[in-house]
Amino acid sequence: NSPMSFPRLIGSSTTTVTVTNNGAYNLTGLNIATPAVVSGSATPTISNNNCSSNLDIGDSCSYDVSIASSTVQSNSQVNLRFS
| pLDDT tier for residue 37 given thresholds of 50, 70 and 90 | confident
Residue pair 13/64 in contact (Cβ under 8 Å)? The answer is no
| pLDDT tier for residue 68 given thresholds of 50, 70 and 90 | confident
User: Where are the extended beta strands (E) located within 1-83?
Assistant: 2-20, 27-28, 32-39, 43-47, 54-55, 60-82
Neighbouring-strand partners of residue 52? none
